[in-house]
Amino acid sequence: MTILVSVLAAVLLTAEVPAHAQAVDLAATKCKEFLQLKQDRIVFILMWLDGYYTADEDPVVVDFDTAKTKAEKLGAYCAQHPTLNVITAAESVLAK
């Protein structure tokens, strides 16, 4: 657990942070806009979505292969539905 926290802290410290912190409203952000974000922001959002759609009783494991597969599915879905908001797209792809 300590290693995970250390790695996450290192990633957050080295990530590009704008002068004014930005919040992303996933209910208002369209898939087209989401796909145009910087790669690091997309990764953060995807990891958040993965946690959001993980049930409380699921194991507390970060499976990078599964996360990649989910990200690819969401990306493909968003590409097909560019006017849909991200949270609705994620609900269709990631919800159990």
d(C-alpha 27, C-alpha 84), whole Å? 9
Q: Which fold has domain 25-94?
A: 10k-s Protein, Hypothetical Protein A; Chain A (1.10.890)
**Domain boundaries defined on the chain:** 25-94
Query: Mapped to the 3 state alphabet, what secondary structure does the chain carry?
Result: CHHHHHHHHHHHHHCCCCCCCCCCCCCCCEHHHHHCCCHHHHHHHHHHHHHHCCCCCCCCCCCHHHHHHHHHHHHHHHHHCCCCEHHHHHHHHHCC
State pLDDT tens for residues 14-64. 555 444 558 889 999 999 999 999 999 999 999 999 999 988 898 888 889
Average pLDDT estimate for 58-75 = 91
Q: Does the pTM exceed 0.75?
A: no
